[in-house]
Amino acid sequence: MLGGANLKIFVTGGAGFIGSEFVRMSLNGNLKDIGINPTKVVVYDALTYAGNLNNLKSVSSDIRYEFIHGDICDPQILNKIPDDCDLILNFAAESHVDRSIDGPAVFVKTNILGTQNLLEAAKIKDVKRFVQISTDEVYGSIDTGSWDELFPLRPNSPYAASKAAADLISLSYYKTFGVPVLITRCSNNYGYFQNIEKLVPLFITNLLAGKKVPLYGSGKNIREWIHVSDHVRGIAHVIKYGELGEVYNIAGDTELTNLDITRMLLKYFNLDETYIAYVSDRKGHDFRYALNSSKIQNIGFKNKVEFKQGIESTILWYKNNKDWYTHAI
Ligand code: NAD
């Protein structure tokens, strides 16, 4: 069990969508109830097209916060991690499936080699926890039922395959070198500060601009949705209560087809289905993802944000933060 008021945390990819939510929530005291109350949070981020320091503006004057511009593939990362670091969280990744189809190489480099480089540094620094942030996509696609953590990994996209490889290399560092690894695999996230290349913010910002939304194939593909703050709370639970060397699924409670979610957004904006532009399907598009999250529930975790309320607050956020997303692309 790890937690307490003196935690020193190194967050890679902390300028991205989910990493920045972790940083904001931990510094704002929103994870205190789960025992995450840091004295130091170092964000280490390469600031690729997906990284945005505006995501961290609200905490930038906090004396516990520090930003370091750097790449997880750089062997010098060892010198950037504080000597008394308790916890490393690896959010840094290339994260967009479509980009992995257009150019897989950088996914292999960052997601696999970068993770291994970071694990090597964690081994030398002797940290207390190393959390690898992974995804449901490593399991492949499932027509019925749901995956628990023991399901075989059958990733289909280069993105998912690179994340699966990172999970395995992380577990090997636990078994072989005793690096205190924990892995979380989460469903599709939505919420504030998400790059508008992803479905929810892309559709919201298109509709706000009076434009059509590009829906892949028939729109029948099914995903589970989770608010980013619930994902972060799930990660905090795993840090505090998770067993080393274990994997924890973090599932969204809301299972929807892409067409369902599109219709919900159209309804919110009072628009009809002429605003849907059906486009050719993504290559190798997984049909359905569904996680069994009994394991994390057994260590006391439950989502808090109800989907309707979460999506409405997300729409409002994009409505009120046009400057953010016109500079984020
Ligand atoms: P994101 O694309 O918004 O952010 C990624 C961050 O990593 C950016 O700040 C970027 O600058 C940084 N980065 C990229 N390459 C780097 C490198 N080589 N060195 C250092 N920093 C680098 O991604 P996200 O949506 O916040 O996802 C974070 C993690 O969560 C990823 O590992 C992703 O696989 C996982 N995940 C995401 C979702 C989702 O729905 N978004 C769901 C489950 C798991």
* Alpha carbon 192 to chain centroid, angstroms: 13
From the list 86, 94, 137, 286, the catalytic residue is: 137
Contacts of 291 (CB under 8 A, 6+ apart): 136, 146, 147, 185, 186, 187, 224, 249, 250, 251
Neighbouring residues of 121: CB distance < 8 A, sequence distance ≥ 6: 77, 78, 81
Active site (annotated) includes residue 136: yes
137 is catalytic: yes
CA of 93 to the centre of ligand 1 (A): 4
Asked if residues 97 and 160 have their Cβ atoms less than 8 Å apart, the reply is: yes
What pTM, to 2 d.p., does this model score?
0.97
Ligand 1: distance of its center to the CA of 126 in Å?
24
Distance 267 CA to ligand 1 centre (A): 30
| Rounded alpha-carbon distances, angstroms, from residue 253 to 14, 60, 112, 133, 226 | 25, 33, 29, 19, 7
Query: Which one of the listed residues 44, 65, 139, 159 is annotated catalytic?
Result: 159
List all residues whose CB is within 6 A of at least one atom of ligand 1. Answer: 12-13, 15-19, 45-48, 50-51, 71-73, 91-95, 110, 114, 133, 135, 163, 186, 188-189, 195
Identified catalytic residue from 45, 71, 86, 136: 136
Which atom of ligand 1 lies nearest, measured to the CA of 195?
3
Q: What is the pLDDT along the chain (329 residues), one digit of tens a residue?
A: 676 568 999 999 999 999 999 999 999 999 999 999 999 999 999 999 999 999 999 999 999 999 999 999 999 999 999 999 999 999 999 999 999 999 999 999 999 999 999 999 999 999 999 999 999 999 999 999 999 999 999 999 999 999 999 999 999 999 999 999 999 999 999 999 999 999 999 999 999 999 999 999 999 999 999 999 999 999 999 999 999 999 999 999 999 999 999 999 999 999 999 999 999 989 989 999 999 999 999 999 999 999 999 999 999 999 999 999 986 54
Q: How far is CA 10 from CA 85, 86, 121, 140, 316, in A?
A: 7, 8, 12, 30, 31
What pLDDT does 329 receive? Answer: 46
Tell me how crowded residue 171 is: count the other CB atoms within 10 A of its CB: 17
- What integer pLDDT is reported at residue 327 of this predicted model? 66
Residue 257 host element (H or E): strand 254-257
* Residue 300: Cβ-neighbour burial (10 angstroms; 0-12, 13-18, 19+): exposed
The Cα–Cα gap between 103 and 111 comes to 13
Query: For residue 294, how far is the Cα from the chain centroid?
Result: 20
